[in-house]
Amino acid sequence: MRQRSLIAITAALTAGALTLTACGSRDDKDKESAEGGGTTVVIGVDAPLTGDLSALGLGIRNSVELAIKQANAKKYVDGINFKMEAADDQGQPSSGQTNATKFVANKQLLGAVGPLNSSVGESMQKVFDDAKLVQVSPANTNPAMTQGPDWNGGKKVRPYKAYFRTATTDAIQGPFAAQYLYNTAKKKKVFVIDDKKTYGAGLAATFKDEFTKLGGKVAGTEHVNPDTKDFGAVATKIKNSDADVVYYGGEYPAAGPLSKQMKKAGAKIPLAGGDGIYSADYIKLAGKDGKGDYATSVGQPVEQLPSAKEFIANYKKAGYKEAYEAYGGYSYDSAWAIIEAVKKVVEDNDGELPSDARAKIVDAMQDVSFDGVTGKVSFDEYGDATNKQLTVYQVKDTTDPAKGWKPVKSGTYTG
Amino acid sequence: MNAVGPVEPGENTYAQEAAAHEAAAPEPAPPARRGTRHRRTAIAAATAVALGAAGLGLYLTRPEPPPEPPPPWPSQSVSVTYTGEMSRPRAGERDFTFAVTFTQASGPPVTVRQVAQPSASLSVRTSPGPPFTVKTGTPRKLIITMHIRECGEVPRNAGLPFLEVTLRNARANERQSYILGPEYANDLSAALSAACPRTRVS
């Protein structure tokens, strides 16, 4: 009997030890896979999931999905199970508006993240605002979207109460690029090109305004069709000008080939642009002559933010095959801002969603404040992010496009 | 005497006893007692090994206290704001002053190693002069004297002027541009225009 007891005790202890050893990892797994019950709240995400801009769009979608999965795993809002509904706008305003209408029709959908393009965002704002459905863009940078058409010099008026964004605006991005190119890179004559779209034309205008105020000269201006990939005529004009830098207001599908063709034509000067060209795909398209080109992008480099470490690790762990790209951290924070607003509304209503949840979530969003991937997340009276940081990047290496952009200067707006 | 005395073994007495013993105890007793001892020893040893292994397993997988998080990058904890008080130079004067305030939201102290501005036509000096320390909860006011080097090149109408600040803490040495906003831009523009009017006063 004594021997049998000893064997039993040993077995029990060993089993116990093994169980304890395994506990941590199993708990984590259970948490990750937890779906939870309760009320379903859908968060929509609209971005270009196909087409030329899909690299940025898929990074947005994946990052929103990651935020939703983590909120569910943590059971962050008691009694609420979040789900994502993704819609592809292909970078087209008409598609964006159709998607916005579809989101509004889904009664379970209480907030939307997106879109990437300012022109697409403009087509969605009224649809969402009429339905009192909150929209948080991680990437729209056109100042007029939050401050009205007279933002520059006139009176700032917020056009839509339901619209928020986590990205810094072109009111800062363009001038910051101008300051860097004029003062630091010592560029004095610029050839300014834009794609005639809301984002590109607006960004080029804010750049040009500051560059000339600093004393810089404009060697030429051009407008191009971003759907055309043949920039031979413009490349020749650039070569024949005495510009020492080109500034392009637009996105990488056109900027990459433009950089390549102008250098091939003999204009061995750098191309600079905004967050629309800050992508590994730009380096792929521009080729080895893209080395030395510049881009500004919203925020501090995500890799430098301690708050982003966990996001980067979780994104990697989730196994997404597409990179989180320029807007991953901002997309995660946009989705989390909606989750925070839902949490506030549910808690203020005895743990249940009120019948007018959408309107209450819009109100709650104004007071949201949390430490996100990109730093402190909160919104000012216009719906703009209060955390206004941005960075100048330069292409330092073209052999591995994913690692080619390197930060050369970061700024914080404290005005 | 009817007393029964000890019975003396008779003939075959020992032989019968031996046969009876053989039938009753097929295995000899002493070897059986040795086997039990070995088994007990083996089980005890196995128990000790198992307990040791379990203990080692628990030790190796014990929850460790989370490592101390590194301090934030200095630019993520320090803020620089324009406090105003910009002096208005007269035409031809080359210096004017204004104030900024350094604040730190959280984390260990940050050393301000340099304060500069981007234009080649201007230079700055500060009071107190760098290096100086900014601590959480204790804002630090800095008086900046802007010196005009070359009137013809000053950015008299910049929309987004900024200060270049070099910060250092235990995490990193970092150079950050602090864009002080429209009030600073307007005041700076006014001061530069006053000091360097279009019609030069020499």
Cα(A23)–Cα(A17) distance, integer angstroms: 10
Task: Say if B97 falls within a structural domain.
Answer: yes
Mean pLDDT for A87-102 is 97
B149 & B112 share domain: yes
Checking if the pLDDT of A383 tops 90, the result is yes
B112 & B190 share domain: yes
Task: Say if B141 falls within a structural domain.
Answer: yes
pLDDT tens per residue, range A327-369: 999 999 999 999 999 999 999 999 999 999 999 999 999 999 9
Residue B97 belongs to domain with CATH number? 2.60.40.1230
- Segments making up each domain of chain A, as ranges: 39-168+304-384, 171-298+391-412
B111 & B159 share domain: yes
Q: Tell me if domain A39-168+304-384 and domain A171-298+391-412 are identical in fold.
A: yes
Cβ atoms of residues A94 and A102 within 8 Å: no
Cα(B190)–Cα(A236) distance, integer angstroms: 41
B55 & B112 share domain: no
**Confidence at residue B4, expressed as pLDDT on a 0 to 100 scale:** 36
**Confidence at residue B132, expressed as pLDDT on a 0 to 100 scale:** 96
**Confidence at residue A405, expressed as pLDDT on a 0 to 100 scale:** 95
Interface check for B175 against chain A (CB to CB < 8 A): the answer is: yes
Task: Say if B24 falls within a structural domain.
Answer: no
- State the smallest CA–CA distance between residue A238 and chain B in angstroms: 26
Average pLDDT along chain B, 202 residues, taken 10 residues at a time: 39 46 48 62 77 74 70 87 94 96 91 95 96 95 96 90 94 92 94 86 46
| Residue corresponding to tokens 């005639």 | A196
Chain A residue set in contact with B, beta carbons under 8 Å: 3, 6-7, 9-11, 13-14, 16-18, 20-21, 24, 172, 175-176, 178-179, 183-184, 209-210, 213-215, 300, 304-306, 375, 388, 409-415
ipTM of the complex: 0.76
B42 & B84 share domain: no
Under an 8 A CB cutoff, do B181 and A413 touch? yes
Q: How confident is the model at residue A414 (pLDDT cuts 50, 70, 90)?
A: confident
Range of the domain at B108: 75-195
Cβ atoms of residues A248 and A191 within 8 Å: no
Interface check for B54 against chain A (CB to CB < 8 A): the answer is: yes
B82 & B53 share domain: no
> Considering the entire predicted model, what is its pTM?
0.76
Of B39, B160, B179, the CB nearest to A412: B179
Cα(A101)–Cα(A152) distance, integer angstroms: 31
DSSP letter (8 states) at residue B89: P
* Architecture label for domain A39-168+304-384: 3-Layer(aba) Sandwich (3.40)
B55 & B84 share domain: no
Task: Say if B23 falls within a structural domain.
Answer: no
Interface check for B146 against chain A (CB to CB < 8 A): the answer is: no
Task: Say if B183 falls within a structural domain.
Answer: yes
Of A2-6, A90-94, B111-115, the least confident: A2-6
Taking every pair of C-alpha atoms in chain B, what is the biggest distance, in angstroms?
Answer: 164
**Confidence at residue A387, expressed as pLDDT on a 0 to 100 scale:** 83
B117 & B42 share domain: no
B94 & B176 share domain: yes
B48 & B141 share domain: no
Cα(A379)–Cα(A389) distance, integer angstroms: 14
φ/ψ region of B107 (left if φ > 0, alpha if ψ in -120 to 50, else beta) reads left
pLDDT tens per residue, range A201-212: 999 999 999 999
| Among A163, A103, A179, residue whose Cα is nearest residue A129 | A163
Tokens encoding B184? 């600073």
Q: How confident is the model at residue A5 (pLDDT cuts 50, 70, 90)?
A: very low
- State the smallest CA–CA distance between residue B17 and chain A in angstroms: 35
Interface check for B182 against chain A (CB to CB < 8 A): the answer is: yes
Which of the pair, A325 or B14, is modelled with greater confidence? A325
Superfamily (CATH H level) for A171-298+391-412: Response regulator (3.40.50.2300)
**Confidence at residue A29, expressed as pLDDT on a 0 to 100 scale:** 37
**Confidence at residue B77, expressed as pLDDT on a 0 to 100 scale:** 86
Cβ atoms of residues A337 and A365 within 8 Å: yes
**Confidence at residue B105, expressed as pLDDT on a 0 to 100 scale:** 82
Interface check for B123 against chain A (CB to CB < 8 A): the answer is: no
Cα(A257)–Cα(A356) distance, integer angstroms: 49
B91 & B181 share domain: yes
Checking if the pLDDT of A155 tops 70, the result is yes
